[in-house]
Amino acid sequence: MAQITASLVKELRERTGAGMMECKKALSESNGDIDAAAEALRKSGLAKADKKADRVAAEGRVAMAQDGDKAALVEVNSETDFVAKDDNFVGFASHVARAALGVEDIESLKSARIESGKTVEEARAELIAKVGENVQVRRMVRIASNDTVAAYVHGGRIGVLVELKGGDAELARSLAMHIAAMNPPHVKAADVPAEFVAKEKEIELAKMSDKDRAKPPEILEKIISGKIAKIVNEVTLYGQPYVMDTNQSVEAVLKAAGADVVRFERLAVGEGIEKVVEDYAAEVMKQAGLA
């Protein structure tokens, strides 16, 4: 039997919104498997949602560059937010973004030259020496297309590229702002994996009462289909309410403009990097021999 720690219970509570005792019981029954416990809570109707928030430690900046039908985003990481706001760091990130316009991937970017004539790696080494922190050029995305391309960065923390067929630059930028705010995993319903839909159907069925499950198959299917359609709308750009006018869906806005989103890319600082939480009080007590 796996040990059910307080931190594991806390993490499950943050993910699901369920009560402490329910989380502890679910973890015990799943032998400490937090994903299985979260699913069990959802099936029992005790979980509000599986929010699975990425706890990240990396600070840094997302920078963008655009030149006509080409646009690029780069994520450059630092150890602290203080350095991420330093003028030297901000300037370096901007240089790297402009260099990304001319390359296809992150490895090529490292050897690309910025305006000073130095390679990105050479400039990075100089910046490390100047700011006294580790600096990493972690990711880049780039779109080059004959369609309309928009780039948007919110607060240096979230960046979005959108390729739009039809419509205009203003609509493309508005969509980029929507994606920055709403973070849809997919463009359209057809892009949602069948495995995801099947799992959500299983969960919704498990949450139903015995009375509802006893309804005729065609009625039950209609109920489940309605619930799944709502879930799919939440995870697709086209299905979400448009942030500029929540009375309309993004799909309706695009249809009225005779436009279609070909693809989008979204970067957020530090996503996917495990956060290291330091308990300084415990560390001091340990070193003092008090713990």
What are the start and end residues of each CATH 1.10.8.10 domain in the chain? 6-43
For the chain, where do the domains classified as CATH 3.30.479.20 start and end?
55-144
Given a cut of 70, is residue 280 above it in pLDDT?
no
Q: How many CA atoms lie within 13 A of 125 on its CB side?
A: 6
**Residue 273: predicted pLDDT:** 73
Average pLDDT, the chain: 87
Joined tokens for residue 20:
């402490």
Give the lowest-confidence range in 18-27, 75-84, 140-149: 18-27
Q: Pick 205 or 83 by higher pLDDT.
A: 83
pTM: 0.74
Q: What is the mean pLDDT of residues 249-261?
A: 97
Buried b / exposed e along 140-160 (16+ C-beta atoms within 10 A): bbbbeeebbbbbbbeebbbbb
- Residue 47 DSSP code: -
- pLDDT of 287 strictly over 80: no
Q: Which runs of consecutive H residues, i.e. helices, occur in the chain?
A: 6-16, 20-29, 34-43, 81-84, 87-100, 106-111, 120-131, 169-182, 194-207, 210-213, 217-234, 250-257, 280-287
Class at the top of the CATH hierarchy for domain 6-43: mainly alpha
| 8 Å CB contact between 19 and 46 | yes
Q: Give the mean pLDDT of 72-99.
A: 95
pLDDT surpassing 70 at residue 270 = yes
Mean pLDDT of 221-247: 92
Query: Across residues 244-272, what is the average pLDDT?
Result: 95
**DSSP state letter for 146:** S
Write the CA distances from 270 to 16, 93, 184, 239, integer angstroms: 22, 15, 18, 27
Q: What is the mean pLDDT of residues 8-24?
A: 84
> What pLDDT was estimated at residue 278?
46
**Numbers of helices and strands, H then E, in the chain:** 13, 8
Q: How far apart are CA 77 and CA 136, in angstroms?
A: 5
- Give the residue, 52 or 193, on which the prediction is more confident: 193
Q: Which residue has the higher pLDDT, 267 or 220?
A: 267
Strand partners of residue 76: 61, 137
Q: What is the pLDDT of residue 53?
A: 38
Region 55-144: CATH code: 3.30.479.20
Q: Which residue has the higher pLDDT, 66 or 220?
A: 66
Q: What per-residue confidence (pLDDT) applies to 256?
A: 97
Q: Which residues contact 187 (CB under 8 A, 6 or more apart)?
A: 236, 237, 238, 261, 263, 264
* Secondary structure letter of residue 280 according to DSSP: H
Cβ-contact 27, 4 below 8 angstroms: yes
Is residue 281 scored above 60 in pLDDT? no
- Residue 275: is its pLDDT beyond 80? no
